[in-house]
Amino acid sequence: MAATAVLATAAIAGTVAITPQASAAATATYNGVCGTGYKVVNSAPIGSKGTVFLTYNSAKGKNCVVTVRNATGKPVPMFAYLYVQGADESAEDGGAYTSYAGPVYGDGRGKCVDWAGGIENQSTWTYGSNCGSLTAHRVTKGW
């Protein structure tokens, strides 16, 4: 399953931002498990297996991360991770899941966050993103 992506290279501090585009193949969608008031502010594909979503609740000042598989099935190793920079606060959920890992929460109001998700042998890590902004900005490393 091939996903189409647009690669935009930013001259600012040598960062790379990857913006996924719609693909003809089935892709994961945010499932709402973070709760009422959480809106998707960023996301990253996890190879061909799913997507990790960063959400934010403006009223609570909280971020939430959830990793969602493209298709449910037998339990496989998955994780969702969130680290709030400058607050020394992190949260992780990992285990064998059929459809999603997480949600995990952190108080990200006005702070940059690192977030990640993994499904089986594929993962993606995003560092220093959003930084008190609802604008998607990230430096992503996929493995």
Query: What average pLDDT does range 136-140 have in this prediction?
Result: 51
Query: What's the confidence (pLDDT) of residue 33?
Result: 97
Please provide the average confidence, as pLDDT, over all residues in the chain.
Answer: 81
Q: Which one has a higher pLDDT value, 18 or 32?
A: 32
**Fold classification of 39-129 (topology level):** Immunoglobulin-like (2.60.40)
Mean pLDDT of 69-79: 97
Distances (CA, A) of 11 to 15, 17, 85: 7, 11, 23
Global pTM exceeds 0.85: no
pLDDT at 130: 84
Tell me what the mean pLDDT of segment 52-78 comes to: 96
CA distance 123 to 138: 15
Calpha distance 98→106 (Å, rounded): 24
Residue 133 banded pLDDT, cuts 50, 70, 90: low
CA 67 from centroid of its chain's CA atoms: 7
Instruction: Kindly indicate the confidence band of residue 51, based on its pLDDT and cuts at 50, 70 and 90.
Output: very high
| pLDDT at res. 128 | 87
Q: Residues 45-68: what's their mean pLDDT?
A: 96
Q: What residues does each domain of the chain span?
A: 39-129
Mean pLDDT (whole number) for 125-135: 78
Q: How far apart are CA 143 and CA 129, in angstroms?
A: 18
CA distance 129 to 106: 14
